[in-house]
Chain A
C-alpha cells in the first residue's frame, strides 16, 4: 500500500465515520452565475451585476436578521506587468466586479497567491490592482507570496498572516497554512530565488509537504474559538484545504488531524480555501469545505482523491484565458446558510453537465516528476 493510500485510509477512519455529517442547519448551496456578456456580448460591469437579483439569489425571506455578502478573490499569481498582462487583466476584472456587487459585499477576502514569484514588484502590483476594491479587505498568504523573502514584504503590506474578527454573528478566521514549510533550502544552500522556484511548482518534489497550520497557530485557534458559542457559525479562510485531498500537490495541511481535533466541538464550521484553482466541495466530520477558483488559471483535478461529494466543474477550454477562472460571491443569511456563487467568466454552466463535459471522464494514471531532484541537470 502506498503512503498516499495509507494516509487516505487513515483520514477515512478518523474523520469520515458513519453518521457523522455537518449540522443540517448549515446549508451550503452552489449556484451558477450567468454572465451577461455571454448573452448580450460586451456589457459594463455595473450592468452585469444588475442581473444578479434575477438569478437564484440568496433566500431573502430568511434575511431578516443580518444577511450579508462577502467576496473571495485569490490566486491571481501576478507576474510583473511587463511579463504577463493576462493575469493583470483578470485581476482587474475580478476587482471591478467585486466592487460593483449589488447589494455590496461587506468585505473582500483575498485568499493568497497574490504574486507568482514573491517579488516586491508583484506584490506591489497586486496592492495597486486591488485598490479598485473600496470595501474592507482582509488577506491571508499563499506560498507564492512567501518564500522569496520569507514573508517580509507580505507582512509589511498586510500585517499578521492569521487573524479573526466577528461580523454579524459569524466568527471569521483567517489561517496561515503556508509559512511553516520544513527547511529544504539551508542544507542545499539555495538562493532565495531557488527556494522560491521549488516552492512555486505545484508538482515539485523538493519543497515537500509544506502546507500546515502549526502547533502555535492551532493553540491560537483553540483560544480564539474558546470564546465562541459552539453552535454559532464559524467561517475559516485558508489558502490550502484543511483536509487531505492530494498531498503531492499540497492539496491538504499535513496536520489535518490536529485541525480536526480543535474544530470538532464546533457544529457550524465552513472552510473556504484557495490553492486548488477548481470547483471543489467536501464534508469532513462536521466541517464543510469549499474550494475556490483562481483568477489566473485553472488546475485539473488531482489524479486521485477527488472528494466524492465534489460536483466536478466543466472541462476548460485552454484557448480562452477567461475560462475556468473567476472569483466567488458568498453570502450568509439569517438561517446561517452559507451561499457560494462561483463567478466563472464566460460560462453559463460552472458544473459539468455530462461525463464528456468533465475532465474526470478521461481516467489517467500519473507519476510524479523526477528532474527537479536531479538538479543541476
Chain B
C-alpha cells in the first residue's frame, strides 16, 4: 500500500465515519424511514393549527397579532373577514388563475396582497413572510372541503 493510497483510505474512513455520525444523530428526524408515531403526527398537526390560528386572527383584523408580526393589513378599519366571513368567496381552490382585477396570471398570495393594498389600503406583505403563510394556511384550512378547480374564473 502506497502512502498516497493509505491517505485516501483514511480520508474515506473519516468521511464514512462522519456520515455515520450524522445519520446516528439526525436519524430520528428522518421519520419516513420508520413508521410515523402519534407524537410526531400531533407535532405536525400542532404546527399546522398554530398557523391556522395566527391566520384566523390576522384575517379577522386582530391588532395585537398584526403588531406582533409587524404587518399593517388594513388602514380603513376593514378586515379580510368583513367581506369574506369564514373565508367565503376567497376561492383558494380556484388559484392559480388569470385574475381580472390585476390583469395578470396570479397566485392566491398575489390576490391576498392585492386585497391588502386595494380595498383595505394596507401595506403589501412579503409573499414568503410568516404573515402570508399564516393567512394562506387559514384560508386553505377554512376551505378544506372545497374541490380544486385551478384556473376557474
Contact = CB atoms under 8 A, between A and B. Distances in A.
Size bracket, chain A contacts: 35 or more
A119 B82 CA distance: 18
A302 interface: yes
Nearest to A116: B77
Contacts of A370: 52-53, 56
Interface string B84-95: 111111010110
Contacts of A248: 86
Given A317-B101, A365-B146, A367-B86, A372 B118 contact: no
B139 to A, nearest CB: 10
Contacts of A297: 78, 82-83
Interface stretch (A35-43, A44-52, A53-61, A78-86): A78-86
A2 interface: no
Given A356-B153, A362-B94, A364-B91, A369 B119 contact: no
A362 B77 CA distance: 28
A249 B81 CA distance: 12
B115 interface: yes
Nearest to B87: A366
Given A202-B81, A365-B144, A367-B145, A319 B118 contact: yes
A369 B76 contact: no
B72 interface: no
Interface in A71-129: 79, 83-84, 86, 116
A18 interface: no
Contact of B65 (A86, A318, A356, A377): A377
Contacts, number: 99
Contacts of A319: 101, 118-119
A367 B139 CA distance: 10
A203 interface: yes
B133 interface: no
B56 A364 contact: no
Contacts of A377: 53, 57, 62, 64-65
B118 A364 contact: no
Interface of A: 79, 83-84, 86, 116, 201-203, 248-249, 297-303, 317-319, 321, 356, 359, 362-372, 374, 377
Given A203-B85, A356-B153, A377-B53, 6 more contacts: A202-B81, A299-B83, A362-B89, A364-B146, A365-B144, A368-B86
Which 8 A-B residue pairs are closest in the complex by CB-CB distance?
A: A365-B145, A371-B56, A203-B85, A300-B89, A300-B88, A202-B85, A79-B77, A366-B86
